[in-house]
Structure 1
Amino acid sequence: MAARLSKSLLILAVAFFYSLVVFNNTTDYNSNYQFVRHILQMDSTFPGNHGMWRAINQPAIHTLFYIFIILWETVTAILCWWSGIAMLRSIRLAPESFYRAKTLGVAALTLGMLMWFIAFLCVGGEWFLMWQSKTWNGQDAAFRMFVVLGIVLLYLTMPEPIAPTIE
């Protein structure tokens, strides 16, 4: 039961994290919008790099990118909350019930990992050359979140230990 509780609490912690991210991105919209805008404009990459043809300078597209990220984070938060609550509700039930409750958490964590990997490390980091920017480089944070979510996902998918029988 301790492993089940631990897994449930970790999924709820991820849900809390994503809820804070969505809260910050909506209540302080401009701060992280500026991050997205600068990455897409590639205005702080190395001078004279040959990838500048990729830069996007249309504010409407910056807004669409940012709203898409916020929606992605919102869906991840909702799925984590849903899974964590379902896991807590099934904590004392048969292993099959707890396993079913975990599947939504697997989907949520995978969705979160895909966001950090695809949106930040691949698209931002490599396509828009975010790695060249000293000011607008979110690769370390993206990698950190990818690893945290990956560790929780690995732990979540591990089978729960079977209690020894006392004879």
Structure 2
Amino acid sequence: MSNITTACTIRRSKILIVLMVGIFGLTTLVNNFTDYTSYYEYIGQILSMSTTEGNESRRYRAVTSGLFHHRFYWMIITLETIYTVFCLLGVYQLCRKMNASRKEFKVAKKFAVLGLITAIVVYYFMYVIILSEWFDVEYSAQSNAFDWARSNIEYMFPALIYLTLDNDN
């Protein structure tokens, strides 16, 4: 145990944090594929604003096309796949460079950074901006993805900051 340095501990913690995001992505993808219909219907309810109460003046934003619902949902799944692959590839690259020089470890962070940024885009842009703000999901008693997306962002954004800190030398 005396050979474990602070730098080694910090590097391992960064790998673990990215790994958790990758595992979260895998779990999310498994859910999306094994219960596609339920999640598709959920996205469809949000986009069609069928469970939104009040704010009648914004109903013109509703999109009721089933084809659009499928495409929007597949865009989310595609972006989730991208961030999951990037995070897991980032974990692999970081593990390979665990005992490498500071510069090599820093370069190995690129896939993990791309993964975390893509995850933040998925949950902030797709869920918070589009689904919550544009389609008023916060006014739906049945379909409120805002809190779920926000909790993901509250983990992933600080994880991105911590990963990119230059404190693992």
TM-score (structure 2 length as normaliser): 0.93
Identity score, percent:
28
Q: Alpha-carbon deviation of 1:134?
A: 1.1
Q: Which residue of structure 2 lines up, in the alignment, with residue 112 of structure 1?
A: 119
Structure 2 portions without partners, runs of 5+: 1-7
In structure 1, what is the equivalent of residue 94 of structure 2? 87
Q: Give me the whole-angstrom Cα distance separating, in 2, the residues matched to 1:105 and 1:145.
A: 16
Question: 2:56 is paired with a residue of what secondary structure?
Answer: coil
Q: Deviations over 1:62-111 (max 9, x none)?
A: 00001110010001000000001100110000011110111221111011
1:47, CA displacement in angstroms? 4.0
Alignment of 1:56 onto 2:63: yes
The corresponding residue for 1:165 is: none
How many residues in Structure 1 have an aligned counterpart in Structure 2? 162
2:53 alignment partner AA: F
Residue-by-residue CA offset, 1:29-63 (whole Å, 9 max, x unaligned): 01211110000000111246111111111100000
RMSD value, Cα: 1.1
Letter in 2 for 1:74: T
What CA distance in whole angstroms lies between the structure 1 residues aligned with 2:93 and 2:111?
A: 9
Q: Which residue of 2 aligns with 1:127?
A: 134
3-state DSSP of counterpart to 2:162:
helix
Amino acid at match of 2:109: K
Equivalent AA in structure 1 for residue 71 of structure 2:
L
Amino acid at match of 1:114: V
Segments of 5+ residues of structure 1 without an aligned counterpart are 163-167
Choose from 73, 93, 99 the match for 2:80: 73
SS in 2 for 1:160: coil
Conservation of the 8 A alpha-carbon contact between 2:102 and 2:168: no
Q: Is the 8 Å Cα contact of residues 54 and 139 (structure 2) preserved in structure 1? A: no
The C-alpha deviation readout for 1:111-138, integer Å capped at 9, x for no partner, is: 1001111100000011111111011011
